A = this chain, B = another copy of it.
Amino acid sequence: MKNYSKQREAIIAYLDSVYTHPTAEEIVKGVREVIPNISLGTVYRNLNDLVANHKVLILHIDGDKDRYDGHTAAHAHLKCYKCGKVEDIFLKDDQLSVLKEIGGEDFSLDYNALCSGCKIEK
C-alpha cells in the first residue's frame, strides 16, 4: 500500500458511506457506480491490505461470506441468529475501558442474539 490508487479510495469512500457490513461482492457492486470496471480481485486485495492496516474491520460469519466494516471506532457486533443481520452495538466508555483492560486496544466482540427487529416480532 505504497502508492495512491483511485480504486482503493473509492472502496474506502464506499465503506464510509454505508452502515450495512457489506460483503466483497456488495462492495464491488457499490464501487462500480463510480468505477464501472473495477474487478472483484482488486476489491479483495485492497480489503486485505486495509484490514492488515486496521483501516477496515473484517467480520467472519458462520457459514456465510466475510463482511467488512469501514467504521473502525471500537464497537461490538450483534449477529441475529434468526434473520442473519449484523447490527452495531455502541459501547459506553466504561465498557470500552473494561474491554481494553482485558486484552488491549485491538479486539472484536461479537454477540449471537436477536436483532432489534426480530426481538419485537417474537
Which residues of A are in contact with B by a Cβ distance under 8 Å? 48, 51, 58, 60-63, 76, 78, 89, 91, 94-95, 98-99, 101-104, 106-113
Contacts and interface: CB of A to CB of B under 8 A. Distances in A.
Contacts of A78: 103
Contacts of A108: 109-110
Nearest to A91: B102
Contacts of A106: 111-113
18 contacts: A51-B62, A89-B102, A89-B103, A91-B102, A94-B98, A95-B98, A95-B101, A98-B98, A98-B99, A104-B111, A104-B113, A106-B111, A106-B112, A107-B110, A107-B112, A108-B109, A108-B110, A109-B110
